[in-house]
Structure 1
Amino acid sequence: MYAKCGSIKGAVEVFQGMKEKDVTSWNSVIGGLARNGHAEESIRLFEEMLRLGKITPDEITFVQVLIACGHAGKVDKGRSYFDMMINKYGIVPNMKHYGCIVDMLGRAGLLTEAFQFIDKMNVEPNGIIWRTLLGACALHGNIEIGKRATERLMKLRRDESGDYVLLSNMYAAVGEWGGFEKVRQVMDDYGVWKEPGYSIVEPDNKAVIKLLSRSRSSHVPES
């Protein structure tokens, strides 16, 4: 409960005071640390769990520690834990485990490796997996991998405007307006619209909702 509320100090204190710690309590604190800016401590606690040997980590444990590895930039550890999960503990990776690895590699800028990892998954990658990679491509400005990720997303569904917008913004960020226009043309061809946003202003204390126009071809990156 403490960890979910962001009071990680309280969660750790309660955890340390427990006489009997089960896998759920370990998972809660490892995950709480990972998600609240203490990724290194999360990894340390996971390794302490392994060293004590009283509790066997489960699939949730590995989700939490893989998140920690991604946030801490510990790519080698993340790879090692993923292999350990499969080969030592016999846990079959699920979409969350795969997503954590893609996120970890993406944060580290290892986008080609992330793409290859997705291609080798034992299950069909979903849209979340590909969007995680696409987001990392946008972060690092890798248009080539971003295009390939978008192509895979389009095979799942073509009506997600956010996917097109993210790719077009990547082109715009590096001044490749030809690519930008091509993406917007594809949006036109498939009838995909970006939903207009709106802002609320209060002139003379009167609330007014102002719709933002739906521009498909403006050379202005969208958020």
Structure 2
Amino acid sequence: MSGLRVTVWNEGVHEAENDPPVMAEIYPEGIHGALAEGIRSELPTAAVRTALLADPEHGLTEEVLADTDVLLWWGHLAHGEVDAAVVDRVQRHVLGGMGLLVLHSGHFSQIFQRLLGTTCSLGWRDGAEQELVWTVAPHHPIAQGVPNPLVIPEQETYSEFFDIPAPDELIFLSSFDGGEVFRSGVTFFRGHGRIFYFSPGDQRYPVYHQPEIREIIANGIRWTAQPDRPRTPPEVAKLDRHWR
């Protein structure tokens, strides 16, 4: 699949506040910059743009979304600062067929909570522990080329219970040093759109530089993208004839 149009959205608060200080060393171009770099290396024909919370309309204007096949969303500290009108706009485009990749703490984003209809709460602990990402759907396109298990040397621990609806597809299940498990890679279908949530990728750890993580994100972009689908959400349609 070539010529995909990808927008990487990041709230950019950790970068603006240099919090934590080590983040400037790990992600000198910001998390959005690292994600964009990874996408360009894995999908060299893709057109990749970045957008930030501080941009006008958070960088997610009608024109930008209409020109986006897949939107990546990374947020953590400023979920409540996202304007409701922008959330409405993103939701409409997802229901119309735009792909959505929600990453790490984006599980608490307004758009993810709205599309799933739950709190999206979970358990967590930040102890720089090893995460093993186990593939439970080896034939799914998102899992292609991914080692099983995928080893992340240091990562924030996420744990069940993860308050999401039963996923349409469970792709990855993670385990951590303390014995916790977490549904770390799940998909949902909403309207005409496809959603992939993938949890690894905290601001304190260089997870988005890891080649296997970049491959998963690229696979997720390919899977969620529907560039040829007209961007029209489902609607009530009157039937003009009887079918027998």
What TM-score does the superposition give when structure 1 sets the normalisation length?
0.29
Higher helix proportion, which one? 1
Higher strand proportion, which one? 2
Bigger Cα Rg: 1
What TM-score does the superposition give when structure 2 sets the normalisation length?
0.27
